[in-house]
């Protein structure tokens, strides 16, 4: 039995949803293991594609601390992936004007990150979590991970923590060396990553259109 009435629960949930923002600057203050486990537990409670995967081992979490040995190992792997993506996309864009038009903003962003030499969110917060989801059929593991990450994001927000999604991690499923770091069979698991820490500066609540303005009620 829950001790909080529905009106209060609803109000609190609305507040957490509005306060959820992408934080990209963190203080050095370490977050407690209890908070980290609470965020992981929220991720575990998110839906998973029960019909697509078999067995109990469908989702695993790996906590990597800032300046740790593992962080030093994954940083160059992620950076190499970004460089490869950037080069492939630039080549594709020179061949295909449609790609060039569509991907212009993304190509510019990749090139900027290449120049910076570090990937935003990787090693910038006290804690970096990699979440892996078993691949199955149909291949819905990234959709499943998105549910997991949103739950984690909301829980981090409720704890007053900042959270940054690092979607480059989703490209690492075919880098064997990356899977091996986590003792996972290469190619069998999909990945996503997020940085978590106390925000350097609190952001205002998110601004979105009114639900009425983007909703069509059909007859």
Ligand X SMILES: Cc1cc2nc3c(=O)[nH]c(=O)nc-3n(C[C@H](O)[C@H](O)[C@H](O)COP(=O)(O)O)c2cc1C
In the complex, the smallest distance separating the C-beta of residue 35 from ligand X, rounded to whole angstroms, is: 20
CA angle 149, 150, 152 (to 5 degrees): 65
Q: Residue count at the site for ligand X (CB under 6 A)?
A: 11
Cβ distance to ligand X smaller for residue 49 or 78? 78
Q: Of the listed pieces 21-29, 36-44, 73-81, 209-217, which binds ligand X according to CB under 6 A?
A: 21-29
Considering the rule CB under 6 A, would residue 114 count as an interface residue with ligand X?
A: no
Phi/psi at 209 (5° precision): -65, 160
> Token pair of 155, please?
């829980």
How far apart CA 152 and CA 159 sit, in angstroms, is 11
- What is the side-by-side strand order in the sheet with 162-166? 59-65, 127-134, 189-197, 162-166
Cβ closest to ligand X, residue 104 vs residue 205: 205
Neighbours of 212 (CB within 10 A): 7
Residue 24 near ligand X by CB under 6 A: yes
The Cα 147–Cα 76 span in angstroms is: 28
Q: Does 21 engage in binding with ligand X (CB under 6 A)? A: yes
User: In the range 175-214, which residues lie near ligand X by CB under 6 A?
Assistant: 206
* Residue 24 or 66 with smaller CB distance to ligand X: 24
Q: How far is the CB of 20 from ligand X (least distance, A)?
A: 7
Q: Segment 118-157, which members bind ligand X (CB under 6 A)?
A: 120-121
By CB under 6 A, name the one of 10, 11, 22, 27 that touches ligand X: 22
Query: By CB under 6 A, what part of segment 162-181 binds ligand X?
Result: 164-168
| Residue 100 touches ligand X, criterion: CB under 6 A | no
Our separate counts of H helices and E strands in the chain read 7, 4
Integer Cα distance of 69 and 65 in angstroms: 9
Please, are residues 177 and 106 in contact by the beta-carbon 8 Å criterion?
A: no
Which positions touch ligand X (CB under 6 A)? 21-22, 24, 120-121, 164-168, 206
């Amino acid at each position: 039995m829950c001790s909080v009435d529905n009106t209060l629960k609803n109000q609190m949930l609305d507040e957490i949803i509005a306060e959820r923002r992408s934080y990209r600057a963190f203080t050095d203050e370490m977050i407690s293991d209890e908070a980290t486990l609470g965020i992981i537990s929220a991720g575990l409670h998110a839906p998973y594609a029960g019909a697509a995967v078999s067995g109990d081992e469908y989702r695993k979490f790996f906590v990597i601390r800032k300046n740790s040995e593992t962080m030093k190992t994954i940083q160059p792997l992620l950076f190499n992936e970004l460089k490869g993506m950037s080069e492939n996309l630039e080549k594709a864009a020179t061949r295909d004007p449609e790609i060039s038009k569509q991907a212009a903003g993304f190509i510019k962003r990749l090139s900027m990150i290449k120049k910076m030499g570090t990937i935003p969110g990787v090693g910038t917060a006290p804690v970096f979590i990699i979440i892996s989801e078993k691949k199955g059929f149909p291949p819905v593991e990234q959709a499943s991970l998105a549910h997991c990450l949103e739950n984690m994001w909301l829980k981090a927000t409720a704890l007053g923590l900042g959270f940054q999604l690092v979607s480059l991690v989703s490209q690492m499923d075919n880098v064997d060396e990356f899977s091996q770091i986590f003792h996972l069979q290469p190619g069998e698991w999909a990945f996503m990553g997020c940085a978590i820490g106390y925000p350097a500066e609190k952001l205002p609540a998110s601004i979105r259109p009114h639900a009425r303005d983007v909703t069509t009620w059909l007859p």
